[in-house]
Amino acid sequence: MTTGSLVFEIPAVSPEAAAAHFRERLALTTDASDVRTELESGDPTFTLVDARSAENFAKGHVPGAISFPHRTITAESAARLLPRGRPVVTYCDGIHCNASTKAAAKLAALGYPVKEMLDGLEGWRKDGFPVAQGPA
């Protein structure tokens, strides 16, 4: 290590520890590109949940997503909207919004396998992907 490095003032962990850390991060998140590719396959292995309000969903959402505002998630509402055992990907507006994190936490507590889409709808738009409008 170079002495005086601001980057490595605190030394990096071992490669094994780093690999475990990054695998864990990937176990909890996905990105817009991977979500889009799988949605366009016509046979996605997950249900995409927009965790924002129904009003915000109507203004613009990822095509193929269902509107399931995080404040409405209960065991009963999840059982009505989501097949048991099917993985779920949540998203909201972007890094300034935590609705997708709240939804993911609730759904995981209810026993659903879940990931969060990084950067939400903002990231989706920045990647140039199409946005649908209208109610659920």
Element (H, E) at 15: helix 15-28
Residue with tokens 């249900």: 47
Element (H, E) at 30: strand 29-30
Strands 114-117 and 88-91: parallel
Q: Among candidates 48, 25, 51, which has minimal Cα distance to 106?
A: 51
Q: Measured between alpha carbons, how far is 114 from 68 in angstroms, rounded to an integer?
A: 14
- Say whether 74 sits in a helix, a strand or coil: coil
Catalytic residue among 32, 35, 92, 99: 92
92 is catalytic: yes
Q: Measured between alpha carbons, how far is 131 from 135 in angstroms, rounded to an integer?
A: 13
> Catalytic site residues?
92
